[in-house]
Structure 1
Amino acid sequence: MTKTKWIKWAQVSTLALTLALVAVGGAALAPAEAKDVKKLAILTPEDPTDFGWNQQGFDAAKAVAEKEGLEFMPATGLGYGDVHPTLRELADDGASLMIAHASGYNTAAPEIGAEKGVAVAIVDKPDAIKEGAVTDYTLSGHEGAYLAGVLAAKTSTTKSVGIVVSGEPPSWNSQSAAFAQGVKATDPAVKILYAVIGPAAYSDAAGGRRVTESVIGAGADVIFGQGDGATFGMLQAVETTKSTGGGNVWFIDVIGDKTSIDKGHLLSSVVWNLVPVFTAMVEDLKADKFGTKPYSIQLSDDSVQLLKTKHIPDDVWASVSETRKQIVDGSLKIEPVWEAEKVRALMSSVTDAPAQ
């Protein structure tokens, strides 16, 4: 072979090799094939009838399953004990994603998820996020809770409002702190009474009523209640107890909308819409992006809203709406406070009332 022919052959061979490498590289760089997601499961500690955490989670998961064409696999009323068997059963039945809708499940779910190779979503454990396997949705309605604090301060006639909680998980803490900040920013003279029913008294309606009655007796005429099933007891206390000033007591709820059972005392609610959250989880799972980030809710996309009821005067609502606008446009920033100790430091008075 002459030198000229060898050079031409080498050039052709190099070009062929380059094209081959480009083809291989192109295949390697091509988008990964979408994951086949067929079944969506959710586990809740209580039945989805609380107009709150359990019902909003159940309803959102069901809506997302219908929207995405997935089989819906609910497991409700599981309590707060060991859910390993239920998680295994759901995984064996083909769940593509298991939403463990309780902080008490955030250890068992990743364990069974790893054992069965199923993606899981948990709450109150953001440090457990693992790419492709575990995500966290420790949600905070603190922006809406700040608005609730503004509303409470403008509504109270006794100049005293109460926060009653069924425990101190991060989501409750961030809302309690923001509510207190909203109250103080609106009227620093308003006293804030803070009471804890118990360490995990989420379904303790009797405790919710007893503790709320004591907070009303201490002067509060607006109650910001966070408790899942325990809020029914809080609402009963508000409906049957007069304020120390002789007037009505108002209730501000969280997560759900109890308007349909209101007897004239539901002032508002910090409503959460979990459909965008669960939709994002499913879409991220399909796109192989699951477990790469936590999820949140906020006023800007209406995944958090403050409920307007007929009990709120127009001028008061206009003031609340102006504050909402400031939060959405960024001129007023509300940072979440997750730690119970920091929350307690914001209160005028703190009462621990273990469930009896």
Structure 2
Amino acid sequence: MRRVSRIAFASVATAALAVSVSACGGTSSDAAKSDDGKSKGVALAYDIGGEGDQSFNDAATAGMNKASKELKVGKKAVEPTDGESDADKIQRLTELAKQGYNPVIGVGFAYAPAVKEVAAKNPDVTFGIVDDATIDAKNVSDLVFNEEQSSYLAGVAAANATKSKTVGFVGGVDNTLIRKFEAGFVQGVQATDKSVKVKRQYLADKPEDGGFSSPDKGKEAASGQIEGGADVVYHAAGLSGQGVIEAAAAKKIWAIGVDSDQYKQSALAKYKKYILTSATKDVAGAVYNLVKAVQDGKAKGGIVRADLASGGVGLADSNPEFLKMKDLQADLKTAEQGITSGKIKVKTTL
């Protein structure tokens, strides 16, 4: 049974033409020509951590690469810069739109002010933003996920796997989005076994303080929780989560990954034995489907929500040890049925 999902997706706004060249920040690009001679392409503006985070940004990259290959469109990805402002993001998105990329996708809620401003000035370009539902515009698709639902399942897994009756949660940045992960995880743990304690720590108050981009901070936080008795640690910390996984592997206890199936990430291969599962969300599917909608001329603006029922979020089962836990599998089945039926209402805040 493979719980890593494929999004069942409603799409987002406008037709497109695109040309490949440069933009502010580091880039990688590849242009493709259609039969009528016009270039088309998708552009990603990465969140903090950039490509190679083995998580959120890499999932978006996978969607871009799939679209480029299967839909024969060009592609371009732009890295963030340290300490950048909203003005830097506005400049980046503006340049991508002027160059002809369509859709232009901001990966992460931090792009919300920039996407809102640039989309208003470029009504013929479709914009996407991942993890934000605040932009109401005909040419903006808000690609959002019910992360609390997959985090609830991660909590069920943690409560089943712990022997010490103590588990941990490490959040990258203390904000509304990451508190959804925390709330779902804690609820899943407590619903499974009320005697299990949950240690919780955030790495930063603001994204620019390195909460999503500092494996050393993730390692330190997880190590502290492990010293305090935690034998399962779940992270929602982007690139910083690599440090969480490293700390768990060093002590031979379970880590639970996030966003992508981190058991299958090549950069984490030496730790995979200790990655029990990952709470996933199909960012790759969201990106791919937005590109296809633009290409087909069927894109529409508004919120595009992915949840457990649609397959947009889920729990990975790549680790064979995960599948051997029969009580866990039974509890997960019950939890999944409860969430999709509406019997279990997963909280977004504690």
Common fold by TM > 0.5: yes
Q: Structure 1: which 5+ residue stretches go unaligned?
A: 1-33, 242-247, 344-356
* Distance verdict in 2 for CA 1:150–1:125, change over 3 Å: closer
Q: CA RMSD in A?
A: 2.3
* Counterparts of 1:98 and 1:80, CA distance in 2: 22
- Partner residue, 2:15: 35
* Counterparts of 1:129 and 1:324, CA distance in 2: 33
SS in 2 for 1:296: strand
* Distance verdict in 2 for CA 1:272–1:124, change over 3 Å: closer
Q: Greater CA radius of gyration, 1 or 2? A: 1
> 2:144 aligned with 1:135, yes or no?
no
Structure 1 segment 166-245 matched on structure 2, within 5 A: 166-199=172-205, 200=207, 201-241=211-251
CA contact (8 A) 1:139 1:171 kept: no
How far 1:127 moved relative to its partner? Answer: 2.6
How far 1:314 moved relative to its partner? Answer: 3.5
SS in 2 for 1:332: coil
Q: 1:176-229 CA distances to partner (integer Å, 9 max, x unpaired)?
A: 111111111110011111101112210011111111111112221110111111
- For normalisation by structure 1, the TM-score amounts to 0.76
CA contact (8 A) 1:48 1:56 kept: no
How far 1:126 moved relative to its partner? Answer: 1.9
How far 1:164 moved relative to its partner? Answer: 0.5
* Distance verdict in 2 for CA 1:90–1:44, change over 3 Å: same
How far 1:319 moved relative to its partner? Answer: 1.6
- Partner residue, 1:145: 151
2:316 to 307, 310, 317: 307
* Counterparts of 2:98 and 2:66, CA distance in 1: 23
* Distance verdict in 2 for CA 1:122–1:190, change over 3 Å: same
Q: 1:304-337 CA distances to partner (integer Å, 9 max, x unpaired)?
A: 2211212223313422442254146505333351
Structure 1 segment 296-335 matched on structure 2, within 5 A: 296-308=305-317, 309-312=319-322, 313-327=324-338, 329-330=340-341, 332-335=343-346
How far 1:295 moved relative to its partner? Answer: 1.6
* Distance verdict in 2 for CA 1:76–1:210, change over 3 Å: same
- For normalisation by structure 2, the TM-score amounts to 0.78
Structure 1 segment 12-23 matched on structure 2, within 5 A: none
> 2:102 aligned with 1:60, yes or no?
no
Q: What is the aligned-residue identity percentage?
A: 22
* Counterparts of 1:67 and 1:320, CA distance in 2: 38
Structure 1 segment 25-174 matched on structure 2, within 5 A: 35-36=15-16, 38-45=40-47, 46-79=49-82, 81=84, 82-117=88-123, 118-131=125-138, 133-174=139-180
* Distance verdict in 2 for CA 1:275–1:257, change over 3 Å: closer
How far 1:274 moved relative to its partner? Answer: 2.2
SS in 2 for 1:126: coil
* Distance verdict in 2 for CA 1:87–1:270, change over 3 Å: same
* Counterparts of 2:342 and 2:107, CA distance in 1: 33
SS in 2 for 1:138: strand
Q: Structure 2: which 5+ residue stretches go unaligned?
A: 1-13, 18-39
* Counterparts of 1:262 and 1:311, CA distance in 2: 16
Aligned residues: 298
- Partner residue, 2:256: 252
Indicate the structure whose relative CO is greater, using CA pairs within 8 Å and at least 6 residues apart. Answer: 2
* Counterparts of 2:103 and 2:299, CA distance in 1: 13
